[in-house]
């Protein structure tokens, strides 16, 4: 007798109703988890934030301040790669166990293959973004230098518009794929294809609310990067835990 063909993996169905105020609820939930895991969460974020700080310093020292836009826009593209660690800390906090920095880094040892594919895609898109922003810098500024001390330069507006358009498109593409697929692979262990399909289902079911949430994620990280860079060690964990809360509400049981 021939064996039965394997059934395709089941794609989770999103909740049919989602209140307009859901993003605020997810943000509050993210803050509550952060309050109970503050030490481990902030220490875990400090390393990538410090590496980013070194890049910022190098750009400023080289007189290429407009390239800070590329760094700021690239951060939301790669930040979701930290989700396995934050998911592990959230699980330990929910079960009443202490959240330790070692738990954050241990999460990558058991991260599923689907997550690594999505993380690779995020890094690839960020490389495209950095390369494109550097090419556009050359088109607008040539080999010249510019820093805030030089005063306003009319070329800044054009560079920001073109680079922002490209970066925004890449960020949107990354979020459409990774917004729910990464949490579903990290917390529920879904394979790559059903995780991506579930995320697209959620976006189709709740386009308005999730567009608002995407604005909160992007706006929050960019504003922190530009206005108070050290505060990223708080903003990034809060937004990560908020994203996990959003996934849990839209796909009940994804936190188990």
Angle between helices 113-141 and 68-78 (to 10 degrees): 170
pLDDT tens digits along 99-128: 999 999 999 888 888 899 999 988 888 888
The span from the CA of 72 to the CA of 55, in Å, is 11
74 phi and psi angles, rounded to 5 deg: -75, -25
The answer on pLDDT for 244 being more than 80 is yes
pLDDT top residue among 114 and 148: 114
CA 84 to CA 146: how far, in whole Å?
39
Phi and psi at 132, nearest 5°, equal: -65, -40
Q: How confident is the model at residue 93 (pLDDT cuts 50, 70, 90)?
A: very high
The first and second tokens of residue 5, run together, are: 């063909």
What is the C-alpha separation between 45 and 235, in angstroms, rounded? 10
The conformational region for residue 3 under phi > 0 = left, psi -120 to 50 = alpha, else beta, is: beta
CA atoms within 13 A on the CB side of 17: 1
Q: How many CB atoms sit inside 10 A of residue 162's CB?
A: 15
Q: Record the pTM.
A: 0.86
Backbone angles phi, psi at 64, to 5 degrees: -120, 50
> Looking up tokens 């509050």, which residue turns up?
28
Rg (CA), the chain: 20
β-partners of residue 64 are 146
DSSP 28-86: HHHHHHHHHSHHHHHHHHHHHHHHHHHHHHHHHHTTBGGGHHHHHHHHHHHGGGGHHHH
For range 199-216, the mean pLDDT: 89
Which bin fits 190, alpha (ψ -120 to 50), beta or left (φ > 0)? beta
Residue 197 in tokens? 């399909």
- Phi (first) and psi of residue 146, to 5 degrees: -150, 135
| Predicted local confidence at residue 149, as pLDDT | 65
Tell me the pLDDT of the chain averaged across its residues: 84
Where are the chain's structural domains?
22-250
Q: Which residue has the higher pLDDT, 146 or 234?
A: 234
* Residue 47 in this model has a pLDDT that exceeds 60: yes
Q: Is the pLDDT of residue 28 over 90?
A: yes
Instruction: Look at 32-36, 94-98, 135-139 and tell me which has the smallest mean pLDDT.
Output: 135-139
Q: CA-based angle 121:174:132, to the nearest 5?
A: 80
- What would the pLDDT profile of 177-190 be if each residue is shown by its tens digit? 778 888 888 888 88
Which of the pair, 143 or 217, is modelled with greater confidence? Answer: 217
Q: What is the pLDDT of residue 255?
A: 54
Least trusted range by pLDDT, from 64-73, 203-212, 221-230, 238-247: 64-73
């Amino acid at each position: 007798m021939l064996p039965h063909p394997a059934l395709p993996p089941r794609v989770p169905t999103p909740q049919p109703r989602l209140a307009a105020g859901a993003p605020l609820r997810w943000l509050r939930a993210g803050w509550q988890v952060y309050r109970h895991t503050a030490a481990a969460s902030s220490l875990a974020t400090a390393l990538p934030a410090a590496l980013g700080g070194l890049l910022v310093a190098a750009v400023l020292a080289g007189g290429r301040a407009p390239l800070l836009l590329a760094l700021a826009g690239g951060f939301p593209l790669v930040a979701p790669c930290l989700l396995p660690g934050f998911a592990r800390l959230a699980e330990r906090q929910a079960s009443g166990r202490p959240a330790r920095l070692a738990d954050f880094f241990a999460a990558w040892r058991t991260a599923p293959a689907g997550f690594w594919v999505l993380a690779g895609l995020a890094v690839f898109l960020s490389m495209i973004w950095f390369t494109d922003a550097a090419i556009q810098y050359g088109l607008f500024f040539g080999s010249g230098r510019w820093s805030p001390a030089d005063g306003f330069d009319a070329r800044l507006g054009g560079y920001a518009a073109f680079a922002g358009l490209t970066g925004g498109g890449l960020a949107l593409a990354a979020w459409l794929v990774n917004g729910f697929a990464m949490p579903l692979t990290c917390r529920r262990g879904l394979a790559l294809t059903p995780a991506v399909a579930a995320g697209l289902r959620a976006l189709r079911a709740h386009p308005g609310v999730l567009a608002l949430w995407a604005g909160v994620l992007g706006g929050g990280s960019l504003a922190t990067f530009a206005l108070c860079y050290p505060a990223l060690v708080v903003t990034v964990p809060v937004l990560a835990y908020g994203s996990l809360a959003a996934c849990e509400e839209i796909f009940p049981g994804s936190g188990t």
